[in-house]
Amino acid sequence: MSAFASELANRQPLSQQRLLATSIPGPRSLELMSRKLGAVAAGVGTTMPVFAERAGGGIVVDVDGNQFIDLGSGIAVTTVGASAPRVVAAVQEQAAAFTHTCFMVTPYEGYVAVAEALNRVTPGRHPKRTALFNSGAEAVENAVKIARVHTGRQAVVVFDHAYHGRTNLTMAMTAKNMPYKHGFGPFASEVYRAPLSYPFRDGNRDGVLAALQAIDIIEKQVGAAHVAAVVIEPIQGEGGFIEPAGGFLPALATWCRENGAVFVADEVQTGFARTGDLFACDREGVVPDLIVTAKGIAGGLPLSAVTGRAEIMDAVHIGGLGGTYGGNPLACAAALAAIETIEAEGMVGRAREIEDLMLARLRDIQGRDSRVGDVRGRGAMIAVELVHAGTDVPDPELAKAVAAASHQQGVIVLTCGTYGNVLRLLPPLAISDALLHDGLDVLAAALAGVR
């Protein structure tokens, strides 16, 4: 055993508690931050002022020994935990065997096994195929490429508040200008935006009606015969954890089927037990033609996938899909271990328990504080939309202040939303109830402390 491997084996398991050892940020994080400013491009920002050293369960430890409760999972990535035992073991074993050959040169079993696993666990029992990539954005782009070849059409329909990534095509598909698109144009063409069902803001709880309004715009402004794909997040992520009213997704899927368009679910953020179902589409029994996954897929290693109907996926000519690192063997080993962990540990059920705990606590806070406009979400993907007291006017300053105060008290919490006024809670499913309660106590105190 190498010195490093034996050190790893001897490490104590991370104590699952919040602990403030220094002021936040501590001296070593301050020093690293000044090195970051001198070495890393300014455009790469950070949410937290501290540098990580270790993470596991529901805890992130910084370089000064502070222990943070993780309500972010590295943006919904470490769903099974930041160093889930099965993932660590699988990656170590694969790293010792080989780190890369390129699947397009010398293929290996891990890639095929991940494809088989995704074909098995994604919605629908029809014949499927999968292709693997590195990032969510890359997979979204490939879903569009596949849909265009299959349909022979070009137009891509996306929605208000959508987030699909930062590459040129996915910037065009993403709604929000600042910071994702500002100054980065011109953007890819043939991308069209339709209105989303957003019950808190449009006051409409009839998802079928909302879908008919979106469909009317698609038919009038794009033309059904031009639509290659309708791409939608079943619950929006960066856009504000917006859950469309019931019936919205099924109505859109039906319209796609009737009009020869490919219905693409971007489950990059909602996938892999995050929302209390294996995939968010499962809740209403929606079967997408293509489903895009990434983030929670591989316990923290970079991997993404497009999975879908065999006849659509196989429409692309041989050699048309791929990439040097797509389906890297380490990432594939991690994905198989993450999927096994989700199934063996009953993590879908755990996500629903986390939902019950968080919604109860947050609705209690909402009942006492009229600045909490809306509490929503499913599973371990829960949002608090903050407004000026008693109105529906977004209050991004309040969200920022509550997040910053929580960071100071040892809780990692993120904000999101078109208006920047949404606190989003994305704990790893490996977190304990005790840590969740402590984290929500801190959040409640932070909210009460900002006036």
Ligand X SMILES: *Cc1c(COP(=O)(O)O)cnc(C)c1O
* Site residues (vs ligand X, CB under 6 A): 135-137, 140, 163-165, 233, 237-238, 266, 268-269, 294
What minimum distance in Å lies between the beta carbon of 69 and ligand X?
A: 22
User: Strand order of the sheet with strand 227-232?
Assistant: 128-133, 304-309, 290-293, 262-266, 227-232, 155-159, 191-194
Choose between 165 and 329: whose C-beta lies nearer to ligand X: 165
DSSP letters spanning 270-285: TTTTTTSSSSGGGGGT
Which residues face 423 on adjacent strands? 384, 415
| CA trace torsion 134, 136, 142, 144 (10° rounding) | 180
Contact 300, 87 (CB under 8 A): yes
Nearest residue (beta carbon) to ligand X: 136
What minimum distance in Å lies between the beta carbon of 165 and ligand X?
A: 4
What minimum distance in Å lies between the beta carbon of 233 and ligand X?
A: 5
Distance CA 14, CA 431 (A): 12
Which residues face 129 on adjacent strands? 308
Choose between 294 and 333: whose C-beta lies nearer to ligand X: 294
Choose between 79 and 269: whose C-beta lies nearer to ligand X: 269
Nearest Cα neighbor of 419 from 446, 385, 448 is 385
42 secondary structure, DSSP code: T
Distance CA 103, CA 107 (A): 4
What minimum distance in Å lies between the beta carbon of 449 and ligand X?
A: 30
What minimum distance in Å lies between the beta carbon of 170 and ligand X?
A: 7
Choose between 194 and 294: whose C-beta lies nearer to ligand X: 294
Choose between 163 and 419: whose C-beta lies nearer to ligand X: 163
Give the chain's end-to-end CA distance (angstroms, integer). 56
Contact 416, 269 (CB under 8 A): no
What minimum distance in Å lies between the beta carbon of 266 and ligand X?
A: 5
- Does residue 407 sit in helix, strand or coil? helix
Choose between 268 and 382: whose C-beta lies nearer to ligand X: 268
Distance CA 289, CA 136 (A): 17
Extract the tokens encoding 359: 């919604």
What minimum distance in Å lies between the beta carbon of 292 and ligand X?
A: 7
What minimum distance in Å lies between the beta carbon of 140 and ligand X?
A: 6
Choose between 3 and 41: whose C-beta lies nearer to ligand X: 41
What minimum distance in Å lies between the beta carbon of 252 and ligand X?
A: 16
Extract the tokens encoding 446: 């932070």
DSSP letters spanning 149-215: HHHS--EEEEETT----SSHHHHHH----TTTTTT--PPPSSEEEEPPP-HHHH----HHHHHHHHH
Q: Give the E-state strand segments of 211-368 in sequence order.
A: 227-232, 262-266, 290-293, 304-309
What minimum distance in Å lies between the beta carbon of 11 and ligand X?
A: 29
Choose between 409 and 418: whose C-beta lies nearer to ligand X: 418
What minimum distance in Å lies between the beta carbon of 324 and ligand X?
A: 16
Extract the tokens encoding 447: 């909210």
User: Strand order of the sheet with strand 381-386?
Assistant: 372-378, 381-386, 422-425, 414-416
Choose between 260 and 322: whose C-beta lies nearer to ligand X: 322
